[in-house]
């Protein structure tokens, strides 16, 4: 992980809150990291943070299994800001009281705040905040005073400025709190005096220096898929250690049209790395011949991928170029979601992450995961700062098993050819559609932009008429969805003219296709991919 000079630790008292706060802090160009709320004061001290933020959480502070906080943390002399549960836990830990109130407070509320609190500097005395609580602080700890209230909440904010301890019952991290970002700024810059040093340009320098120092004169290997994460790691390592990096690109023949050529072009011309293009197309074609069951396809493709990759690694070793490190594009959500690691810094040799299967017998690498504390959009920014082309940086998600899971039934060279050509048209037209939306709204992911779009080839034929001839050919299914994280998705409400153009182009330009259908199912109940 890149060390900036300062960092804010966000104590997570309930899954969804910590991430959002960490994002907000990073949006202000201050590095922040999420830690479990039961971390000890000694562990905190060892991490040398500049400030702490205590998140909200669903529990009641007096509930039996309610998460608590090591009281010694408040004696470390660090500025602390607490929200909601964080506000209440600060109150009870320091000797105040929290009471269960009859009336809860959910949604927008009008806050009346006092003049003179550094937290509300530059914000009006009456403002809208977002509340979500039943319990409330009843008595503030000694040395604290109340700085804001709402009609139902007498202690909506409290502080002890001498010790730089601040807290709010409301949630400044949610957009509905009118001056939430200003309140956060006031804490980070006004109270803590932090600098905005979490910028991508700064990071590239510190991260490359760190990789260089860690690797020394050793060799690093990377499985390059052409996806955003592995490409950014490749660009970063290339800048840090140049030809000590070997990128292994396993071409299974199931990539989209033009993709293998683009990946090779970028990593041989633009970045001067040791690039190995493994042409495994024929081996994959043989292995997949006649296989129709989706899970079986996935298993074959995944297993063979690592066989190919480790075979190259072993050849390098035998050729007298021992490889010590494996670089990977693990990103922060992978780690948060798998709950794999507690407080940062420790590198697991093998972890539960879906990217990595266990190493085969006799193979061992130490891991380099420079993106393990980055969110996806930060990875993209970093990619741009490293000079990666936009078509890689803004590449939409693409499944590891590739087009094999977009061809229903057995994969064949003829079907692959049809799908690649149809998919290229879908991408061309919807890239252009997204670009138009981007130019109109200035946002990459505006409300109606397509998040993922591709063609699917079902295992059927239907009758059509072209010229005066009867045709008996394949349909292509267009899949285009709006989503933010692929967990849920809605089919994209594309304008009719866009749909019409895609349809007429596919039928006119792709031999063997006489019909186009649009998949209008959301996820759930369907999934984004067809297999
Ligand atoms: P589903 O089809 O489950 O897909 O709605 C959710 C997202 O994950 C992508 N996907 C994969 N990505 N390996 C990957 O790296 C896979 O095996 C895989 N299967 C699905 C899919 O494209 C969508 O964005």
Say if residue 345's pLDDT is above 50: no
Per-residue pLDDT band at 1 (split at 50, 70, 90): very low
pLDDT computed for residue 362 by the predictor: 73
Range in 47-56, 239-248, 339-348 the model is least confident about: 339-348
Q: Is 173 annotated as catalytic?
A: yes
Go through 225-248 and write b for each residue having 16 or more CB atoms within 10 A of its CB, e for each that does not. Answer: bbbbbbbbbbbbbbbbbeebbbbb
How far apart are the CA of 345 and the centre of ligand 1, in A? 29
Q: What average pLDDT does this structure show over 127-138?
A: 94
pLDDT computed for residue 337 by the predictor: 63
Q: What average pLDDT does this structure show over 189-196?
A: 97
pLDDT computed for residue 351 by the predictor: 28
Residues 90 and 165: beta-carbon distance below 8 Å: yes
Cβ of 36 closer than 6 Å to ligand 1, yes or no, is no
- Strands 462-466 and 452-456, how do they pair? unpaired
Cβ of 399 closer than 6 Å to ligand 1, yes or no, is yes
Q: Which two tokens stand for residue 293?
A: 């069951």
Say if residue 339's pLDDT is above 70: no
**How far, CA to CA in Å, does 518 sit from each of 433, 456, 477?**
16, 10, 6
Residues 47, 49, 54: CA angle, nearest 5 degrees: 105
Domains parsed from the chain with CATH numbers? 8-191 (3.40.50.880), 200-393 (3.40.50.620), 412-518 (3.30.300.10)
**pLDDT tens digit sequence for 371-416:** 998 988 899 999 999 999 998 999 999 999 999 999 999 999 999 9
**pLDDT tens digit sequence for 208-235:** 999 999 999 999 999 999 899 999 999 9
Q: What average pLDDT does this structure show over 22-27?
A: 91
**How far, CA to CA in Å, does 27 sit from each of 129, 184, 198, 214, 513?**
20, 11, 9, 29, 47
Residue 224: HSE in the Cβ half-sphere, 13 Å Cα cutoff = 31
pLDDT computed for residue 338 by the predictor: 61
Write the DSSP symbol of residue 359: P
Residue 255: HSE in the Cβ half-sphere, 13 Å Cα cutoff = 20
| Active-site option among 84, 113, 192, 450 | 84
Cβ partners under 8 Å of residue 167, min gap 6: 54, 80, 81, 82, 83, 86, 87, 90, 91, 157, 158, 159
3-state DSSP call for residue 167?
strand
Q: What average pLDDT does this structure show over 325-354?
A: 58
Q: Which two tokens stand for residue 510?
A: 């792709």
Cβ of 528 closer than 6 Å to ligand 1, yes or no, is yes
Q: Which two tokens stand for residue 264?
A: 């090779």
Q: Is 261 annotated as catalytic?
A: no
Per-residue pLDDT band at 4 (split at 50, 70, 90): low
Q: Is 84 annotated as catalytic?
A: yes
**pLDDT tens digit sequence for 436-462:** 999 998 887 777 889 999 999 999 999
pLDDT computed for residue 18 by the predictor: 82
pLDDT computed for residue 356 by the predictor: 56
pLDDT computed for residue 216 by the predictor: 95
**pLDDT tens digit sequence for 294-319:** 999 999 999 999 999 999 998 998 88
Cβ of 227 closer than 6 Å to ligand 1, yes or no, is no
Per-residue pLDDT band at 487 (split at 50, 70, 90): confident
Q: Among 169, 171, 17, which residue's Cα sits nearest to residue 101?
A: 169
Say if residue 354's pLDDT is above 70: no
Following DSSP, what letter does each residue of 401-466 receive, concatenated? TGGGGTB-SS--HHHHHHHHHHHHHHHHHHHHHHHHHHHHHS-TT-TT--SEEEEEB-S--EEEEE
How far apart are the CA of 233 and the centre of ligand 1, in A? 21
Q: Which two tokens stand for residue 70?
A: 């090591």
pLDDT computed for residue 15 by the predictor: 61
Tell me how far apart the alpha carbons of residues 292 and 412 are, in angstroms, rounded to a whole number: 11
Q: Among 396, 399, 408, which residue has the most ligand 1 atoms within 8 Å of its CB, making it the best to mutate? A: 399
Per-residue pLDDT band at 103 (split at 50, 70, 90): confident
pLDDT computed for residue 73 by the predictor: 98
Residues 334 and 385: beta-carbon distance below 8 Å: no
Cβ of 523 closer than 6 Å to ligand 1, yes or no, is yes
How far apart are the CA of 529 and the centre of ligand 1, in A? 7
Say if residue 341's pLDDT is above 90: no
Cβ of 526 closer than 6 Å to ligand 1, yes or no, is no
Go through 302-327 and write b for each residue having 16 or more CB atoms within 10 A of its CB, e for each that does not. Answer: eebbbebbbebbeebeeeeeebbbbb
pLDDT computed for residue 357 by the predictor: 61
pLDDT computed for residue 353 by the predictor: 40
Quickly tell me which residue has 């490749």 as its tokens: 234
Query: What is the residue-averaged pLDDT of the chain?
Result: 91
pLDDT computed for residue 17 by the predictor: 76
Q: Which two tokens stand for residue 91?
A: 């109150």
Q: What average pLDDT does this structure show over 94-115?
A: 92
């Amino acid at each position: 992980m890149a060390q900036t000079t300062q960092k804010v630790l966000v104590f997570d008292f309930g899954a969804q809150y910590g991430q959002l706060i960490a994002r907000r802090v990073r949006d202000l160009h201050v590095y922040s990291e999420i830690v479990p709320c039961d971390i000890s004061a000694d562990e905190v001290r060892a991490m040398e943070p500049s400030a702490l933020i205590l998140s909200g959480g669903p529990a009641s502070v007096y509930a039996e299994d309610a998460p608590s906080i090591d009281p010694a943390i408040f004696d470390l002399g660090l500025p602390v800001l607490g929200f909601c549960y964080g506000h209440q836990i600060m109150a009870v830990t320091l000797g105040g009281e929290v009471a269960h109130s009859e009336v809860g407070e959910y949604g927008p509320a009008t806050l009346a705040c006092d003049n003179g609190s550094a937290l509300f500097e530059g914000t009006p005395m009456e403002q809208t905040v977002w509340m979500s609580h039943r319990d409330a602080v009843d008595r503030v700890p000694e040395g604290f005073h109340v700085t804001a209230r709402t009609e139902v909440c007498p202690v909506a904010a409290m502080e002890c400025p001498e010790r730089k301890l601040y807290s709010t019952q409301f949630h400044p991290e949610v957009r509905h709190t009118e001056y939430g970002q200003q309140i956060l700024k006031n804490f980070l810059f006004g109270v803590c005096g932090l600098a905005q040093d979490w910028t991508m340009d700064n990071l590239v320098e510190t991260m490359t220096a760190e990789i260089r120092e860690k690797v020394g004169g050793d060799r690093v290997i990377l499985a390059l898929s052409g996806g955003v994460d592995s490409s950014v790691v490749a660009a970063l390592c290339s800048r840090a250690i140049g030809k000590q990096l070997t990128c292994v690109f396993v071409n299974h023949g199931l990539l989209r049209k033009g993709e293998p050529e683009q990946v090779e072009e970028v990593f041989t011309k633009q970045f001067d790395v040791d690039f190995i293009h493994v042409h495994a197309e024929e081996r994959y074609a043989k292995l997949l011949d006649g296989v129709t069951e989706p899970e079986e396809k996935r298993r074959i493709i995944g297993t063979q991928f690592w066989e190919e990759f480790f075979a190259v690694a072993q050849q390098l070793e035998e050729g007298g170029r021992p490889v010590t490190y494996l670089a990977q594009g693990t990103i922060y959500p992978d780690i948060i979601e798998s709950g794999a690691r507690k407080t940062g810094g420790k590198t697991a040799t093998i972890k539960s992450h879906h990217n990595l299967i266990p190493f085969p017998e006799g193979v061992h690498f130490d891991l380099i995961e420079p993106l393990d504390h980055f969110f996806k959009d930060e990875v993209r920014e970093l990619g741009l700062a490293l000079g990666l082309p936009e078509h890689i940086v803004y590449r939409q998600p693409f499944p590891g098993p590739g087009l094999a899971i977009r061809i229903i039934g057995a994969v064949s060279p003829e079907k692959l050819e049809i799908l690649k050509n149809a998919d290229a048209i879908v991408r061309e037209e919807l890239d252009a559609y997204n670009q138009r939306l981007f130019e109109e709204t200035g946002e990459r992911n505006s409300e109606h932009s397509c998040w993922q779009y591709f063609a699917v080839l079902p295992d059927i034929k239907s009758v059509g008429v072209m010229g005066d001839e009867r045709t008996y050919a394949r349909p292509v299914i267009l899949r285009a969805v709006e989503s933010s994280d692929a967990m849920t998705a809605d089919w994209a409400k594309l304008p009719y003219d866009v749909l019409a153009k895609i349809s007429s182009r596919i039928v006119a330009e792709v031999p063997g296709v006489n019909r186009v259908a649009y998949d209008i199912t959301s996820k759930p109940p369907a999934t984004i991919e067809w297999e």
